[in-house]
Amino acid sequence: MKTFNYTIIDELGIHARPAGMLVKTAKDLDSEITLTKGDKTAGASKLMMIMGLGVKKGDTVVVTIDGGDEEKSYDVMKDFFESNL
Amino acid sequence: MKKYMGKGVYSAIAIGRISVFKKKDLAVKRMRCEDTETEKKRVENAKNLAKEQIGTLYEKALKEVGEANAQIFEIHMMMLDDEDYNESIDNIIDTQKVNAEYAVAVTADNFSEMFLAMDDAYMQARSADIKDISNRIIANLTGIKSEGNQLDDKVIICADDLAPSETVSLDKDKVLAFVTAHGSSNSHTAILARNMNIPAIIGVGDAFLDEIRDGQSAIVDGYAGEIYLEPDEETMQEFVLKQQNDEEHRKLLQNLKGKENVTLDGTKINIFANIGGVDNIGAVLANDAGGIGLFRSEFLYLENSDFPTEEQQFTAYRKVLESMAGKKVIIRTLDIGADKQADYFGLKKEENPALGMRAIRICLTRPEIFRTQLRALYRASVFGKLGIMFPMITSESEVRKVLEICNEVKSELKQEGIEYSENVELGIMIETPAAAIISDKLAPLVDFFSVGTNDLTQYTLACDRQNPDIENFVDTHHEAILRLIEMSAKNAHKNGAWIGICGELAADTTLTETFLKMGIDELSVSPSFVLKVRDVVRKIDINK
């Protein structure tokens, strides 16, 4: 299992558009990916749950990658957050 | 003639006949179904059909309102594929042995409630998206034709509320205007109407819906947010004229929207807008202003019967920052006093109110009022690109005192663990001769100057703004005023600050060239002047 923390710099936070992109990206990976904000956790392939986290600019989320090609999934997710959020 | 009021979300005028938009009747009945597999299969088919329909809408929206706005339909597609949403539907069918329609309706309610409960206006508005996709599935399940409402003529569409998909699916060439009884200005429908350049009014209320019939004549005034039902001759004439003027302005807009504010020789200038309330943001965006150069915060005080709370102010500032999506927003701290009075301030009657207790003088005398406003501003600063501007400055010590209070407010927020942006620009109004004359001393202390020409004129020429009898003595182009502006511009630039003009003179196009030559960096004007000034700027060659 691998994890990283990411603090959102996008003005709008994880709104519908990046949430949709995140779901697409996560579904293409063979690892189980989850996002945690505070005491709430959502699977990265679940659009409404992710939007339901209400992640805003300045919030820190913990991204957890479990199973499958963790090395690759980690890089893809890290790159996704850095370039989109 | 009857008149109804709502909120205009796209400023334009439409004159025509009413067509009442009939919602499909989607009243869903709960029915017991033992054959759960068939019900689940029905949902699957209805969903696949929905995806095809949304795909078509996406293509239509792409052409009509652009990619950024069409994206909502991509999100709708993904929502249809959402695991939890689908599991919930299947689960309800399985455990309760009910019909597909009912399972979808209950799921829709649950998920839209989840979004409504969030503390974020953007997320709350997403509940409408859930309803939209769910109603589409239900319509497909019941076999009700979903894209109904065939329009023959150009009409004013009146509805209870419109979902984004309903808005886009209407034939744009046949819609003169949208009028809805409910809905919010943040809704996608409002945004889509704006992007389709269709006059729209929302929140007119149920009384209006009860009154209208197909074919009635009406005028939609998107500027004022008003609808005239069966207007009289006089009103009709007035609006025909308004519509013509509108058309001319719109041509200007089409030619100049998205174009740079650049002169023939390549000098660039920012053209921002002045506004006095959150309601004017639509006009700012519609006229393609590069930002807000003056947001008068007085409305918060004048519209209230007591001091507005930090939370009230925060909500308003946040809204304007969010709506401007990263474009610069300069908010002026309270400028009460002189001609703008609020009783609860308890200000004394003065012999000479223009020279009296007003603006920053109130703030420095009663810092608790000032701190509340600054806290709200700094808290809102994380939602966009904020500048704060202080009015009626006359001395260095005032500026130092103001900056000190700003720093105190920031460290207070830090201690409380409340976020604020470190990149808030701080500036002062140059509206007293004193400030202009010592601008060399003031410039190093701030990020920008903004020249308030109305007060600068009044104080420089010793002419009361409120006295119509001396109008002949008020020469707004007086050399003294222009020299003061030029002096301030030089001193600003020497010290790495920028300078804008936010008074009425900024929109005086006979001076635009003079201002460009002085090196003015920004002109902030009423939204409706933005393109006129841009038009003039693009024809100037300052080397000639």
CATH number at residue B185: 3.50.30.10
Nearest to B386 by CA among A9, A58, A11: A11
CB atoms within 10 A of CB B130: 24
Nearest to A45 by CA among B80, B75, B83: B83
Of the listed ranges A53-57, B367-371, B401-405, B449-453, the one predicted with least confidence = A53-57
At A24 the pLDDT is 86
Together in a domain, B131 and B158: no
Proportion of chain B in helix, strand, coil states, percent, rounded to 5: 50, 15, 30
pLDDT at B148 over 60: no
The reply to whether A38 touches chain B by the CB within 8 Å rule is no
Report B:112-141 residues touching A (Cβ under 8 A): 114-115, 118-120, 122-123, 126, 129-130
Give the minimum alpha-carbon distance from A28 to chain B in angstroms, rounded to a whole number.
14
Mean pLDDT, chain A, integer:
88
Structure confidence at residue B139 as a pLDDT band (50, 70, 90): confident
The reply to whether A39 touches chain B by the CB within 8 Å rule is no
For CA atoms B183, B187, B191, B192, the dihedral sign is: negative
- DSSP bridge pairs for B331: B295, B388
At B366 the pLDDT is 95
CB contact under 8 A, A51 and B71: no
- Three-state DSSP class for residue B153: coil
Structure confidence at residue B359 as a pLDDT band (50, 70, 90): very high
The identity of residue B160, as a single letter, is D
Work out how many domains chain B is built from and give that number. Answer: 3
Together in a domain, B123 and B183: no
Question: Would you mind telling me the total number of residues written for chain A in this entry?
Answer: 85
At B102 the pLDDT is 92
Together in a domain, B209 and B345: no
Phi then psi for B117, rounded to 5 degrees? -80, -10
Of the listed ranges B80-94, B162-176, B357-371, B515-529, the one predicted with least confidence = B162-176
Asked if residue B349 lies in contact with residue B332, where contact means CB atoms within 8 angstroms, the answer is no
- Compare B136 and B524 and report the one with higher pLDDT: B524
Pairwise CA distance, residues B289 & B529, whole Å: 9
Phi then psi for B350, rounded to 5 degrees? -120, 150
Together in a domain, B278 and B400: yes
Across the range B112-122, mean pLDDT stands at 83
Establish if B293 belongs to a structural domain: yes
Asked if residue B289 lies in contact with residue B273, where contact means CB atoms within 8 angstroms, the answer is yes
- Find where tokens 């009700």 sit: B144
pLDDT at B20 over 90: no
Asked if residue B220 lies in contact with residue B212, where contact means CB atoms within 8 angstroms, the answer is no
- ipTM, 2 dp: 0.85
pLDDT at B147 over 60: no
Across the range B330-353, mean pLDDT stands at 86
Structure tokens at B261: 């504010």
Could you say which of B142, B166, B190 is where a domain stops?
B142
CB-based contacts of B168, cutoff 8 Å, min separation 6: B57, B60, B61, B64, B65, B73, B192
CB contact under 8 A, A51 and B82: no
Nearest to B291 by CA among B266, B257, B256, B325: B325
Find the CB nearest A54 among B82, B118, B382: B118
At B440 the pLDDT is 98
What percent of chain B has pLDDT above 70? 96
Asked if residue B230 lies in contact with residue B218, where contact means CB atoms within 8 angstroms, the answer is yes
- Compare B285 and B486 and report the one with higher pLDDT: B486
Could you say which of B239, B274, B304 is where a domain stops?
B239
Pairwise CA distance, residues B499 & B430, whole Å: 10
Q: Which CATH number is A2-84's, of 3.40.980.10, 3.40.50.980, 3.30.1340.10, 3.40.50.300? A: 3.30.1340.10
The identity of residue B135, as a single letter, is N
Together in a domain, B215 and B283: no
Q: What is the pLDDT of residues B438-492, one digit of tens each?
A: 999 999 999 999 999 999 999 999 998 777 788 888 898 999 999 999 999 999 9
CB contact under 8 A, B122 and A51: no
Together in a domain, B450 and B487: yes
Of the listed ranges B177-191, B216-230, B462-476, the one predicted with least confidence = B177-191
Alpha-carbon distances of B390 from A51, B324, B437, B523, rounded to whole Å:
39, 21, 17, 17
Together in a domain, B78 and B170: no
pLDDT at B192 over 80: no
Structure tokens at B443: 């410039």
At B264 the pLDDT is 93
At B104 the pLDDT is 92
* Residues in chain B closer than 8 A to A43 (CB atoms): 83
Together in a domain, B207 and B113: no
Establish if B244 belongs to a structural domain: no
Structure confidence at residue B185 as a pLDDT band (50, 70, 90): low
- DSSP bridge pairs for B227: B4, B220
Across the range B205-221, mean pLDDT stands at 88
Nearest to B450 by CA among B233, B278, B316, B272: B272
Cβ neighbourhood burial of B425 (10 Å; 0-12, 13-18, 19+):
middle
* Residues in chain B closer than 8 A to A56 (CB atoms): 120
Q: What is the pLDDT of residues A20-35, one digit of tens each?
A: 889 888 888 888 999 9
* Residues in chain B closer than 8 A to A20 (CB atoms): 71, 74-75, 78
pLDDT at B152 over 80: no
Establish if B103 belongs to a structural domain: yes
Of the listed ranges B308-317, B330-339, B355-364, B412-421, the one predicted with least confidence = B330-339
At A16 the pLDDT is 80
Q: What angle do CA B414, B416, B422 make, to 5 degrees?
A: 25
Structure confidence at residue B188 as a pLDDT band (50, 70, 90): low
CB-based contacts of B364, cutoff 8 Å, min separation 6: B370, B398, B401, B402
Across the range B116-136, mean pLDDT stands at 84
At A53 the pLDDT is 87
Pairwise CA distance, residues B143 & B140, whole Å: 5
For CA atoms B278, B283, B286, B291, the dihedral sign is: negative
Largest CA distance in chain B: 89
Domain spans, chain A: 2-84
Which residues of B are known catalytic residues? 188, 502
CB-based contacts of B5, cutoff 8 Å, min separation 6: B204, B224, B225, B226, B227
At B477 the pLDDT is 94
Alpha-carbon distances of B103 from B39, B44, B60, B163, B234, rounded to whole Å:
10, 13, 30, 21, 54
Collect contacts of B105-109 with beta carbons under 8 A, ≥24 apart.
Answer: B105/B28, B105/B134, B105/B138, B107/B134, B108/B134, B108/B135
At B145 the pLDDT is 60
pLDDT at B391 over 60: yes
* Residues in chain B closer than 8 A to A49 (CB atoms): 84
Find the CB nearest A20 among B74, B83, B118: B74
Q: Choose, out of B79, B320, B423, the residue to mutate when testing the contact with A (most A CBs < 10 Å).
A: B79
Give the minimum alpha-carbon distance from A16 to chain B in angstroms, rounded to a whole number.
7
Structure confidence at residue B151 as a pLDDT band (50, 70, 90): low
Domain span including residue B127 = 36-142
B111's enclosing H/E stretch is helix B100-116
Asked if residue B352 lies in contact with residue B315, where contact means CB atoms within 8 angstroms, the answer is no
Find the CB nearest B83 among A12, A45, A57: A45
pLDDT at B311 over 60: yes
Could you say which of B142, B167, B196 is where a domain stops?
B142
The reply to whether A45 touches chain B by the CB within 8 Å rule is yes
The reply to whether A17 touches chain B by the CB within 8 Å rule is yes
CATH number of the domain encompassing residue B103: 1.10.274.10
* Residues in chain B closer than 8 A to A60 (CB atoms): none
Together in a domain, B270 and B418: yes
Based on the residue annotation, tell me whether A48 is a catalytic residue of this protein: no
At B405 the pLDDT is 97
The top-scoring range by mean pLDDT among B173-177, B245-249, B387-391 is B387-391
Across the range B162-167, mean pLDDT stands at 78
Together in a domain, B408 and B474: yes
From the candidates A15, A46, A56, A78, which is the catalytic residue? Answer: A15
The reply to whether A59 touches chain B by the CB within 8 Å rule is no
Mean pLDDT, chain B, integer:
89
Establish if B30 belongs to a structural domain: no
For CA atoms B492, B493, B498, B501, the dihedral sign is: positive
pLDDT at B289 over 90: yes
At B283 the pLDDT is 83
pLDDT at B33 over 60: yes
Together in a domain, B122 and B85: yes
Nearest chain B alpha carbon to A18: B75
Across the range B34-58, mean pLDDT stands at 90
The reply to whether B418 touches chain A by the CB within 8 Å rule is no
Together in a domain, B232 and B367: no
